[in-house]
Amino acid sequence: MKKNIQFISNIIAFVALLFIYNPSFVYAAMSGDSGNDKANLYKEAERFVLRAKKLEKKDKIEKALKLYSKAYKKLLKAYEKDKNNPDILNYLGFTLRKAGNFEEAEKFYIMGLKIKPDHKGINEYLGELYVETDRIELAQERLEVLKNCKCEEYEELAELIKNK
């Protein structure tokens, strides 16, 4: 009994010290919000997207679409927690575009560009969307933004436009 009381006293003292030195930690622990939830949701979604891309390359489109859908759901939750993250907006657009919802995808890409106009991924993927929807002149504008980046996003979009 005496050991239990000592143990409980130690826990109370520890929590009190945490609260004194970092009250937000205690709030997060008590509320169930780890603070990393947004990052975890994004990372999980990113893993789904990467797996879906591999499945697409193997021509397993149905399985890929299921993973894109799972990623989209995770990304929406991440977006609820952070509406100003261009990476989240980029993947929201990407997953919607892969599902064939070009109009909604374009909205997310544009929202992301308002936050970070030189975002390589958004510029490439929005350019790809424009190629897919036969708006080559708009795809060229995205390519122009990427022209000095010396990056694969530029090369991939340039190739796609050239082959259209």
CATH number for the domain spanning 148: value is 1.25.40.10
What's the total number of domains in the chain? 2
Structure confidence at residue 9 (pLDDT): 53
Query: Based on the domain organization, do 64 and 133 belong to the same domain?
Result: yes
Euclidean distance between CA atoms 157 and 160, whole angstroms: 5
Euclidean distance between CA atoms 53 and 125, whole angstroms: 14
Euclidean distance between CA atoms 98 and 27, whole angstroms: 39
Structure tokens at 4: 């239990």
Query: Based on the domain organization, do 4 and 67 belong to the same domain?
Result: no
**pTM summary value:** 0.77
Structure confidence at residue 39 (pLDDT): 86
- Under 8 Å CB-to-CB from 21, ≥6 apart: which residues? none
Domain containing 137 equals 43-162
Q: How many CB atoms lie within 10 A of CB 132?
A: 15
Structure confidence at residue 113 (pLDDT): 99
Query: Based on the domain organization, do 29 and 47 belong to the same domain?
Result: no
* Rg of the Cα atoms in the chain: 22
Consecutive 10-residue averages of pLDDT for the chain (164 residues): 56 50 43 64 97 98 98 98 97 98 99 98 99 98 96 98 94
Structure confidence at residue 107 (pLDDT): 99
Structure confidence at residue 13 (pLDDT): 47
Decide if 5 is inside a domain: yes
Decide if 38 is inside a domain: no
Structure confidence at residue 5 (pLDDT): 59
Closest CA to 124 of 164, 153, 160: 153
